[in-house]
Amino acid sequence: MPGHVTTVPAMRYRSGLETRDKILRATRELIADSGLEGTTINGICGRAGVLPGSFYNLFDSKEQAILTVVREAIDAIDPDPDKQGTVSLEELVQAYVRFVSEQGDLARVYIAMAVSGGRNNTELKGRVLRHHEGRVARFATAIARERPDLDQSETERRAETLVTALNGIVLHYVLEPTFDVAIHAKALLSDTMAPA
Amino acid sequence: MPGHVTTVPAMRYRSGLETRDKILRATRELIADSGLEGTTINGICGRAGVLPGSFYNLFDSKEQAILTVVREAIDAIDPDPDKQGTVSLEELVQAYVRFVSEQGDLARVYIAMAVSGGRNNTELKGRVLRHHEGRVARFATAIARERPDLDQSETERRAETLVTALNGIVLHYVLEPTFDVAIHAKALLSDTMAPA
DNA sequence: TTGTAATTTGAGTGAACACTCAAGGAAAGC
DNA sequence: GCTTTCCTTGAGTGTTCACTCAAATTACAA
């Protein structure tokens, strides 16, 4: 059970926290433009201006740093996680578009994760799938509030189509930064709310 | 200019062709369940029952084998590349769904490629973007034929939304094999053809 | 100021990576 | 059967990977 017990010190000094920040920022940037598998300890340390020994003084493993960044990306996607039942579908979509345009690095991390999806990493895979389910449920709730005429299975199907299709839009944006996410997201949104 | 001149022999014996097939099959399977970066020479050779020396007798590099498989995946997606202007949008979508369900390995290769998109591989990146453009153009042609009332920019936008959204559907299918691609693809199709 | 613990240094570990090569064995043309 | 070319073998190349550790240095508390 690696990661269950932390063997790194308590980080009581300021410089430790600063180094930790530098490492996480470097990790985020590196995942964003080299992908999960292209992210190496050397790359992280080089970009952060830190030596490997210092990295391992603060993190148990490369994976722990990556997981921390992935969690950041997941948490950054959903607006107001508190107000579970009161956010409109449009707000949910707009929040995603905003997340993508304002936090490009994290958006790339999010897609890199959704794709490699923890191929040989059960911890990461579970996290990805749980996140997806929660996201679909949230979209479904919003749809149900605005379109009470739809039955439950139709509501759920529309939520699932919308969430996965939006990911497709963002996936392409990651490949081609000139791609206009907002326009296509808006189109998907109005399709989802169409009468039929 | 690697890959321009081939240094491997002419492959005149039957066993050479068989070994080549075994290697390409192993490469395809390995990309499908370990991703592009998780695909190693040792992995390929182990799965193919071949030694590294034999691999390099038939391929110049690991990248050459991967590119061959990627080209397979790209070519397998589009139905009847000859009849450019006569295929309906529904047929295009159905062909993609069929491709995904019948050739899961290649579909995974396709997504792996679309995602890692040749991050540090210009050859691969160019191929991916050119393929995407051609695909959008083909979808746009089909839409224009069935919906001549739409202006050109609207037609193109719908084609782009549909193609990227479909990729999102397939991306999720790759993560969760129980995901029903056909249903969601059909929904996207009818949305694309909606009046508004 | 001094003691202690956190932090940094930088060389070093073994494993896995892509790739090579000389030599032996097998398949085809003659 | 002889020759040539193809194919396979399997050990070996240098590089990069994630990760370690003892020693030096620094930051804070008292």
Summarised one tens digit per residue, pLDDT across range B9-27 is: 656 788 889 999 999 999 9
Nearest one of B72, B77, B44 to B166, comparing CA atoms: B77
Q: What pLDDT does residue B149 have?
A: 95
Dump pLDDT digits (tens) for B34-69: 888 889 999 999 999 999 999 999 999 999 999 999
Rounded distance between C-alpha atoms, residue B175 and residue B153, angstroms: 33
Q: What pLDDT does residue B4 have?
A: 40
- Contact call for A175 and B117, based on CB within 8 A: yes
A195 contacts chain B (CB < 8 A): no
Rounded distance between C-alpha atoms, residue A132 and residue A130, angstroms: 5
Cβ-based contacts under 8 A for chains A and B: 115
Q: What pLDDT does residue B1 have?
A: 35
pLDDT by residue for chain A (196 residues), tens only, comes to: 333 455 676 667 888 899 999 999 999 999 988 888 889 999 999 999 999 999 999 999 999 999 999 999 988 888 777 776 788 999 999 999 999 999 989 998 888 888 776 666 777 788 888 999 999 999 999 999 999 999 999 999 999 999 999 999 999 998 888 999 999 999 999 988 877 6
- Contact call for B184 and A190, based on CB within 8 A: no
Tally Cβ neighbours within 10 Å of residue B90: 14
* Mean pLDDT score, B134-158: 95
Confidence of residue B183 (pLDDT cuts 50, 70, 90): very high
Identify how many contiguous H helices and E strands chain A contains and give both numbers: 9, 0
Q: What pLDDT does residue A103 have?
A: 92
Rounded distance between C-alpha atoms, residue A100 and residue A102, angstroms: 6
Task: Tell me: pLDDT of B7 over 70.
Answer: no
- Contact call for A184 and B157, based on CB within 8 A: yes
Dump pLDDT digits (tens) for A4-26: 455 676 667 888 899 999 999 99
Of A37, A117, A172, the CB nearest to B164: A172
Q: What pLDDT does residue B88 have?
A: 93
A129 contacts chain B (CB < 8 A): yes
* Mean pLDDT score, B99-106: 92
- Contact call for B188 and A176, based on CB within 8 A: no
Q: What pLDDT does residue A117 have?
A: 65
Q: What pLDDT does residue A2 have?
A: 37
List all residues 6 or more positions away from A163 whose beta carbon is below 8 Å from its beta carbon: A132, A135, A136, A139
Q: What pLDDT does residue B12 have?
A: 76
Give A67-71 contacts, CB < 8 A, sequence gap 24+. A67/A3, A67/A123, A67/A124, A67/A127, A68/A24, A68/A27, A69/A24, A69/A27, A69/A28, A69/A31, A69/A109, A70/A109, A70/A113, A70/A124, A70/A127, A71/A127
SS (H, E, C) B72-124: HHHHHHCCCCCCCCCCCHHHHHHHHHHHHHHCHHHHHHHHHHHHHCCCCCHHH
Rounded distance between C-alpha atoms, residue B66 and residue B127, angstroms: 13
Q: What pLDDT does residue B13 have?
A: 85
Q: What pLDDT does residue B116 have?
A: 72
For residue B25, the Cα-to-chain-centroid distance in whole angstroms is: 15
B158 contacts chain A (CB < 8 A): yes
B166's tokens: 């479909």
Rounded distance between C-alpha atoms, residue A124 and residue A113, angstroms: 8
Residue type, A54: S
Rounded distance between C-alpha atoms, residue B67 and residue B78, angstroms: 18
Q: What pLDDT does residue A6 have?
A: 54
Q: What pLDDT does residue B196 have?
A: 63
Confidence of residue B3 (pLDDT cuts 50, 70, 90): very low
Q: What pLDDT does residue A9 have?
A: 67
- Those nucleotides of strand C lying less than 7 Å from any protein Cβ are 5-12, 16-22, 26-28
* Mean pLDDT score, B132-148: 94
Confidence of residue B167 (pLDDT cuts 50, 70, 90): very high
Average pLDDT in chain B:
88
Residue scoring higher pLDDT (B27 or B5): B27
Rounded distance between C-alpha atoms, residue A95 and residue A75, angstroms: 12
Rounded distance between C-alpha atoms, residue B61 and residue B41, angstroms: 9
Dump pLDDT digits (tens) for B63-92: 999 999 999 888 888 877 777 678 899 999
